Chain A
């Protein structure tokens, strides 16, 4: 089997040599450089613009504002254009950092400099950016694609009445930014009515549809290329205005145009994880069984959109809670559009998992025991069995690997010299799949080699590698005879790289198309030659040969069959929608806290996960490590700060917004159950990328409580909050 091997990344050579060409790296002859000018006010109207200085600056080709930007159609939100307006189509300003002018020049330096010369006057109104001040304006938005925004199961009042212990807690999580190290980039090239864009995107599909709609040109006239992507984490899943504006000015100027966002621009151009205020009421019996839970989440949306990403799945799916009320509310602020960001469920899971830790203390039970007593044996959403779920094993193995039995649960009881030591745990869980299938073409050439194509993306998760492994296994070919190609919208349309859906949606497509192609190859092989007359069931494929299962030496190579056939075999299909998977795990964290400074250092993390079958241990482990480190940032250091007077982000950079650095990260012990999920159409694998960040956030916060006796329910747990 090739699936399961810890193969190094197929695209690794290109990445370690600098040969991988990302969107901004593509060499386009005669390309002009664009740079954005952003609004300095958050709410109001542009009353005057003066572009004379910029236009006179050396090298400037054109300066666009709302007065002369070509008129564009706002694409539908169904393909990821969530904003309900395009900037530079009217004088209205809806948030600070909205594009108000776009300068095009011969060189990047000329464009950047001229951008500083554009003068914009505003009629500005006082903005509102404080969520706590608009809580009374919050409302439940219409249902979206991520489940109900309001759900009642059973009878919460009756459940609370049955409870012997009742807890109430309020949590606050801040604005987060994805901060992929590659800022979004677009290079737009027109040829008459045909548009080609090099785009840093998690969704060729979304980008293609949105551009087609914006310009009113047929879908087939738009080609989007993104063979490499420098991180996205959700920022590049939707389509954002800068992509469309770049293409618009390239069309007007009849020249290719390149736009790369500055780091500061990305803070208002790519969405963010919205600030939330959460309240929980939880009732339980003394044996630890939860009788009722009410979990109300209020989060920011913009003034112009109400698109909201429901992150309440942990509340609804993680535990068997008989009486439940889950509410997702939103409140409008004068901030940029919020959007999805890696592990949206982390926000609610954090509050729930911290509250369970409080319950464990209240009941004097081990936190693992509390979770076991509320284990969801079936999906609480519909009462149907899981494809597979090995969460109990995750708890057991994780506890062993961490040494959990040696924990003294009393807060402040464990020390290492002067340092306070805390141990905490939490459950990790995230949905995966449940999305439309992705199109795949498998071509078996007359040289006996396979080319597999899909308009999917590799956002660093290892798509190139694991899809090659799946194809090689299914087709019975060595890995080096399989070429998996992605990042080109001319390939069959694939779903967005998000929602942990790539393995379920593309993996199932590669599996199915590969199986069909092999069936056709076997039909040819059993019609003539060494395998003539064998029933298909007796024929197997491996290492580039088809052979008789009962006499493996009776065989013929793929190449020989295809050469005799004289033309390639090609299968294109889109598999059925991938089933909604649920990948769970158990996470454990150790923190060391300096009582004099309040500095929290995570000194150990253990994670045991059930991702279904492991397709590639090496790339999967990296995803798990990445998720855990994202949790360190989420819990201890990351927050986007907004000045309430101006609604401006004050730390739109990487020195004021603190993502974890190498020195923040300890050894991380990751292991997998590695048993196939029979419900999966991707060789037993589930989606997994977003599971590992959930859980670890609460494990760290619970460890902070264990170390200090302080329950910090506002994130991030910065030093000032502990002192």
Chain B
């Protein structure tokens, strides 16, 4: 157990409880840039089993505290629909819903999301029946390469739920956290406006 973490969080030599890991993870999110190297050097990062509720299914997953929700989804649960474009919250490709709210899954640790209902792009369609937002994206050609599309669609679903799809301009403003380098923005606006029932 890294000494500094024990000092900060009062963990015992017997290893952290799940709550300790959660607390450590939450703190690590804030201090990572400064302290990752000296604190973790040469030592195993704290890890433990957590339960993630993703798309209505419970997944028991062994993760270190430093594992982001994005990497837990992609590398542990093989839910690769959620994409990594920048790993620092700039591009929005990793957008998922947590208890119905859109979050960037690269900016949160998996351990912080225990107990929340996570919805990813894989959980949106009912079998092969597309969610109206997915159907609207397909109809309006609101993507080209498709790499930002899962994030755009999750963000769009939340954008409508938030009540931020009242006009084209409102959609543009509230969808500006999701980059599309193929630059399908006008088609994305059209798709969201249609799905929102313009």
Contact = CB atoms under 8 A, between A and B. Distances in A.
Interface residues of B, number: 68
B80 A16 contact: no
Contact of B138 (A16, A109, A179, A461): A16
B83 A182 contact: yes
B67 interface: yes
Interface in A520-535: none
Interface stretch (B6-14, B16-24, B97-105, B184-192): B184-192
Contacts of B144: 231, 460-462, 619, 622-623, 626
A665 interface: yes
Contacts of B187: 622, 625
B149 A16 contact: yes
A660 B168 CA distance: 17
Nearest to B121: A18
Interface string B12-39: 0000000000000000000000001100
A713 interface: no
Interface in B162-188: 168, 171-173, 175-188
A16 B183 contact: no
Contact of B88 (A18, A53, A263, A623): A263
Most central of A19, A58, A183, A230 by chain B CB within 10 Å = A230
Nearest to B145: A460
Nearest to A666: B186
Contacts of B66: 109, 113
A22 interface: yes
Nearest to B82: A18
A144 to B, nearest CB: 27
A10 to B, nearest CB: 11
Contacts of A58: 43-45
Contacts of B80: 18, 21-22, 24-25, 27
A626 to B, nearest CB: 4
A181 B181 contact: yes
B189 A662 contact: yes
Interface in A203-232: 228-232
A179 B150 CA distance: 18
B1 interface: no
B181 A659 contact: yes
Nearest to B134: A16
B120 interface: yes
B107 interface: no
Contact of B85 (A12, A182, A229): A182
Contact of B185 (A13, A16, A660): A660
B141 interface: yes
A375 to B, nearest CB: 30
Contact of A653 (B79, B86, B124, B177): B86
Interface in A651-692: 653-655, 659-665, 667-668
B173 A9 contact: no
Contact of B86 (A13, A17, A263, A623): A263
Interface string A596-626: 0000000000000000000000110111011
Given A659-B181, A662-B175, A17 B147 contact: no
Nearest to A617: B141
A560 interface: no
Contacts of A663: 172-173, 176
A25 B181 CA distance: 20
B173 to A, nearest CB: 5
B141 A618 contact: yes
Given A109-B66, A626-B184, A654 B141 contact: no
B78 A621 contact: no
B191 to A, nearest CB: 10
B174 to A, nearest CB: 9
A460 B86 contact: no
A113 B42 CA distance: 10
A625 B184 contact: yes
B83 A109 contact: no
Interface residues of A, number: 69
A9 B143 CA distance: 10
A180 interface: yes
Given A18-B81, A663-B176, A668 B186 contact: yes
Contacts, number: 196
B160 interface: no
A421 interface: no
Count chain B CB atoms within 10 A of each CB in A22, A27, A619 and give the residue with the most: A22
B75 interface: yes
A183 B85 contact: yes
A256 B122 CA distance: 27
Contact of A181 (B37, B137, B180, B185): B180
Given A53-B41, A181-B93, A625-B186, A17 B83 contact: no
B139 interface: yes
B111 interface: no
A665 B145 contact: no
B189 A113 contact: no
A56 B183 contact: no
Interface string B118-151: 0011101100001000110111010111111110
Contacts of B84: 24, 183, 260
A13 B130 CA distance: 9
Contact of A8 (B93, B138, B172, B181): B138
Nearest to B76: A107
A580 interface: no
A229 B143 CA distance: 13
Given A16-B134, A182-B85, A459-B145, A231 B181 contact: yes
A662 B182 contact: no
Nearest to A233: B181
Contacts of A660: 183, 185
B183 A17 contact: no
B87 interface: yes
B90 to A, nearest CB: 4
A19 B81 contact: yes
A12 B80 CA distance: 16
B124 A228 contact: no
Contacts of B75: 107-108
22 contacts: A12-B137, A13-B130, A15-B143, A16-B137, A20-B146, A22-B83, A27-B78, A109-B66, A180-B181, A228-B146, A230-B145, A460-B143, A622-B184, A625-B183, A626-B183, A629-B183, A654-B91, A660-B183, A663-B176, A664-B176, A665-B186, A667-B168
Interface of B: 36-37, 40-45, 64, 66-67, 71, 74-75, 78-88, 90-91, 93, 120-122, 124-125, 130, 134-135, 137-139, 141, 143-150, 153, 168, 171-173, 175-189
Ranked 3 nearest A-B pairs via Cβ: A18-B81, A230-B147, A460-B145
Given A17-B125, A263-B90, 18 more contacts: A15-B146, A16-B137, A16-B149, A18-B80, A18-B121, A108-B75, A109-B71, A178-B181, A230-B83, A230-B145, A460-B143, A460-B144, A619-B144, A629-B185, A654-B85, A655-B90, A661-B185, A667-B168
